[in-house]
């Protein structure tokens, strides 16, 4: 391998379109997962620090539902954004 001084190219049977589609899906999944985890942290704040266990449970169910809905429809993190805003407001107000 050390004696191989050829230049690597993207040609030669590489499926660049499939690679870009997979990369796009990976980025969308990462964005959705990060926002869902931030929502779960807000739910932990509501439950642990403010004693609002029922609201945290409802928020958890809504977070999971919005994440699944966003992934199935292609909205990704945009489906979780309203849940994030509502949980943030609940953490501030309650």
Note the pTM of the prediction, 2 decimals: 0.80
Domain ranges within the chain, ordered by starting residue: 39-94
pLDDT in tens, 37-88: 999 999 999 999 989 999 999 999 999 999 999 999 999 999 999 999 999 9
Burial of residue 3 (CB within 10 Å: 0-12, 13-18, 19+) is exposed
């Amino acid at each position: 391998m050390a004696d191989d001084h050829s230049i690597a190219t993207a040609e030669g049977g590489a499926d660049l379109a499939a690679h870009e589609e997979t990369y796009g899906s990976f980025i969308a999944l990462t964005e959705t997962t990060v926002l869902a985890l931030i929502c779960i942290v807000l739910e932990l704040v509501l439950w642990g620090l403010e004693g609002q266990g029922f609201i945290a449970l409802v928020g958890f169910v809504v977070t999971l539902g919005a994440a699944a809905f966003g992934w199935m429809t292609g909205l990704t993190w945009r489906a979780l954004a309203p849940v994030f805003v509502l949980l943030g407001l609940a953490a501030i107000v309650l």
